[in-house]
Amino acid sequence: MTFDPCPVTPVAELVFGKWTTQVLWTLAHHGRTRFTELQRLVPAITPKVLAQRLRQMERDGLVGRTYHAEMPPRVEYEMTPLARTLLPVFHTLVDWSDTHLGEVERARERYDAAL
């Protein structure tokens, strides 16, 4: 096992992987959601990748999956209590973004102009 001096790294890899935040954000705002509805709400993700991310998030304990044995079968996804503990973190990041993203854009413009 490799030692990582930054304790944020494993959390960042878990939560901020490609599509994870978008799916969790969507579930946070829409509650229990069917696969096809998630596809509609996060249109840039392919069905294959969405299925992979949902499986990984279920494995990580962030998403719960409910299978309804009816015809046709229905599957719904929702945030777990563990995932809901991330909501204050997401809200803090939204606040930071609202306050500082303009500064980041201006810094990029200055940097790019100096090249």
- Write out the chain in H/E/C secondary structure: CCCCCCCCHHHHHHHCCCCHHHHHHHHHHHCCEEHHHHHHHCCCCCHHHHHHHHHHHHHCCCEEEEEECCCCCEEEEEECHHHHCCHHHHHHHHHHHHHHHHHHHHHHHHHHHHC
pTM value is 0.85
* Omega of the bond leading into 72 within 30 degrees of 0 (cis): yes
CATH number of 1-83: 1.10.10.10
**For residue 2, is pLDDT > 70?**
no
Q: What is the pLDDT of residues 53-79, one digit of tens each?
A: 999 999 999 999 999 888 888 899 999
The residues near 22 (Cβ < 8 Å, ≥ 6 apart) are 42, 45
Supply the pLDDT for residue 9.
86
CA atoms within 13 A on the CB side of 70: 6
Q: How confident is the model at residue 42 (pLDDT cuts 50, 70, 90)?
A: very high
Supply the pLDDT for residue 28.
96
Mean pLDDT of 21-32: 96
Q: How far apart are CA 24 and CA 112, in angstroms?
A: 34
**For residue 47, is pLDDT > 70?**
yes
**For residue 1, is pLDDT > 60?**
no
